[in-house]
Amino acid sequence: MEFPIYFNSIITLDSAEAGKKILLTQDDYINNLSRYDLSSKAKRKKPVSKNALMAYQSKQVMSWSGQEKLVLRKAIQKLKPRLENYELFFPEVIYLVKTTGEEEGGASYCRGSNGIFLASSMVRTASTKKKKSEVKPVNELAELICNELWHISSRNAPKETIDKVYSVIGFQRLPKPFQLPEAINKIKISNPDAIFVEHYISVEVDSITNIQNEQEIVEVKEEEEEKNTYVLDMIPILYSSIPLFTGKKDDSCYNYLQLSFLVIEKTKDAEWKPVIMNKELLFVGIGDLPSSFWEQVGRNTDYIFHPDEIIADNFTHIIFRKKRQSKIKSPELLDGLQEVLSKKENEKENEKENEKGNEKENENKKENEEEKENEKETEKENNKEEEK
């Protein structure tokens, strides 16, 4: 079963074999997994090989039931007309794949350029002694799919487009993906929806505190009425509170998830590196994020693991704005994002660029004509001189 979702793009539910193939592909996500990932995502105490993990994950793929397909079709049909006003970047075919959820801690996620994987628990209610498992409501599934569709669009979009979108929430591009220090890299928790750390955010703070050991490193005191501030450049980091997974089958890789912002700086040779103070990395914890951070990213979501996650939630708010009014705390952010993503706005910009191009072309044409005229005049003058 396949359904149109966006102009020349379709979503197919006949996706089990394609889903297995995607999960068996050693892509950027697999190549960037940490030691913790290779143990927790396979539910083992010790790290497994990448091939072993891919084999394990591919075995979690399931087929959709007839009832599930029926509800998902309605969800996709509900979503389609709402997407058409926005500039999105979808491949021709998007595979919507069902899994047990064991491979990613029960989360829904994207892999490759065109795979959306929904854990069974995200699609169906839990069964009880009194009540059987049921497919979740159409609206709930439409919002879930919308969120993942943003991630599909962002990984297929031009860098310039993504930079423009991320700038709405204050994130700027780094010259290359940030290489985490080994101490963090081996316990990082990888997010398949946001593989690389390629953008940072700048915030103003009154003092710099090392959250890791809760000691004040630099204290900036107010002098008279003036208030000094520091500007910190930060990147969000997901990592585990334990070095290796417990290996328990009923445990999840996300039960030990920690989120902090690593402070980084640009060196004299234009490289970006972590800030080291008193021989330790400098982190800002969630509870210590300054108001200047929230002023940029807004309060519409707590899912601040990565700029693409922040945008995905806000994009879903835009698409289902009336239904989600109670969750929207920063409506002005949605207005700004909507303007950047709007197809009409992008068409206007393209028209302006075309007009500039045409103006430049006309200028060049005029210059060429003037040059030809000057050449003719010069030739006439030369002929006159020869006649004399």
The CA distances from residue 223 to 216, 217, 218, in Å, are 19, 19, 15
**Which among 285, 165, 177, 187 has a CA at the least distance from the CA of 236?**
285
For residue 230, what pLDDT band results from cuts at 50, 70 and 90?
Answer: confident
Rounded to the nearest angstrom, the gap between the alpha carbon of residue 5 and the centroid of all alpha carbons in its chain is 20
Examine the pLDDT at 217 and tell me if it is beyond 50: no
DSSP secondary structure, 104-133, as one string? GTT--EEETTTEEEEEHHHHBPPP-SSS--
For residue 340, what pLDDT band results from cuts at 50, 70 and 90?
Answer: very high
Phi, psi angle pair for 241, to nearest 5°: -80, -10
Mean pLDDT of 313-319: 97
Q: What is the pLDDT of residues 143-201, one digit of tens each?
A: 999 999 999 999 999 999 999 999 999 999 999 999 999 999 999 999 999 999 999 99
Domain boundaries, the chain: 2-158, 164-344
Q: What is the pLDDT of residues 165-175, one digit of tens each?
A: 999 999 999 99
**Which among 29, 215, 180 has a CA at the least distance from the CA of 110?**
29
The helix/strand/coil state of 156 is helix
Q: What is the pLDDT of residues 101-115, one digit of tens each?
A: 999 999 999 999 999
The CA distances from residue 366 to 204, 376, 379, in Å, are 51, 15, 20
